[in-house]
Amino acid sequence: MIKRLFKLKWLVLAGLALIGIAVTIRLGIWQLDRLEQRRAFNARVNAQISQPALDLGKEALPADLSEMEYREVVVSGVYDHSQEIALRNQHWQNQWGVHLVTPLLIEGSEMAVLVDRGWIPAEEFSIGNWSRFNEPGEVEVKGVIRASKNQADFGSRSDPVSLGNVEHIIAWNFVNIEGISEQTTLKLLPVYIQQSQNNSHTTMPYRTQPDLDLTQGPHQSYAIQWFSFSVIIALGIPLLVYTREFKRGSGSNTRQVNKTEVHGDQSIPG
């Protein structure tokens, strides 16, 4: 029996099974971690969107506005279109283009805040003159607070944290406030505003809002699947070894005994 268990093929299979079990359990735990992160994100966002709109020009600003991402905000001021930038790789109704991000000089303040004013097509961006999209004079901006970002959550896309010898970049992958601050004399708030659509604005740039998914996602079902795979491996391999070595072997012994009994019953001709 021991010799059967320690055959090379079963040892190799057992090693692969242990690796498979370890990997599937780790993937299941990873999915549970993702689930907890998703729940924490949802709780934070729901807490912010349930708050009244924050007036950036009239209220004392909290120390860390980035903790208030997705809260509604309102602010009045004048745009400085001379320091406008574009946000690459944006889409609107299956069309590719950019978002125009413009500093707003906050009324009654020495500070400015970047405002994502919305989408224009790639052809308009390529022209390099966006003045026809300017919004002169004092404006009131309503939208949601968004956090600064300089790299993608997944993948290698990023923006420079420091510009180095580059004087001015007009097209960015993200609203990277730290990097953008290096090419402007304005005192920028550490967050930006993604402007909301309103009925009176029907022309470009087309306003957009973040596409939030506040469900728990598929992480729990994925975790169950991975843990199920580990159980299948843990139970299936011993069953396979038993079927191949012991059950089949006992069947062969039974057949051999039957043959011996048959031969033993044959009479010797005299």
Rounded average pLDDT over 223-234: 95
Supply angle C-alpha 237, 241, 244, rounded to 5. Answer: 135
pLDDT number for residue 259: 55
Note the pLDDT tens digit of each residue in 111-151.
999 999 999 999 999 998 999 999 999 999 999 999 999 88
219 or 62, which is more confident? Answer: 219
**SS3 annotation, 205-242:** CECCCCCCCCCCCCHHHHHHHHHHHHHHHHHHHHHHHH
Identify the band that residue 87 occupies on the pLDDT scale cut at 50, 70 and 90.
very high
Note the pLDDT tens digit of each residue in 142-183.
999 999 998 877 666 777 665 665 668 899 999 999 999 989
65 or 103, which is more confident? Answer: 103
Rounded average pLDDT over 173-202: 91
Residue 207 in this model has a pLDDT that exceeds 90:
yes
Residue 260 in this model has a pLDDT that exceeds 60:
no
Euclidean distance between CA atoms 76 and 140, whole angstroms: 4
Q: Within its chain, how far is the Cα of 30 from the centroid?
A: 14
Euclidean distance between CA atoms 242 and 15, whole angstroms: 17
Q: Within its chain, how far is the Cα of 40 from the centroid?
A: 14
Residue 204 in this model has a pLDDT that exceeds 70:
yes
Note the pLDDT tens digit of each residue in 1-29.
555 655 767 778 889 999 999 999 999 99
Euclidean distance between CA atoms 45 and 53, whole angstroms: 14
Residue 250 in this model has a pLDDT that exceeds 60:
no
Nearest Cα residue to 121 out of 137, 107, 132, 111: 132
Runs of H (alpha helix) within 150-192: 177-181
Identify the band that residue 270 occupies on the pLDDT scale cut at 50, 70 and 90.
very low
Q: Which amino acid is at 76?
A: S
Bridge partners (DSSP) listed for residue 151: 158
Residue ranges of domains in the chain: 1-50+221-248, 53-195
pLDDT number for residue 256: 54
Backbone angles phi, psi at 38, to 5 degrees: -65, -45
Euclidean distance between CA atoms 24 and 229, whole angstroms: 7
Let me know: does 257 contact 12? Beta carbons within 8 Å.
Answer: no
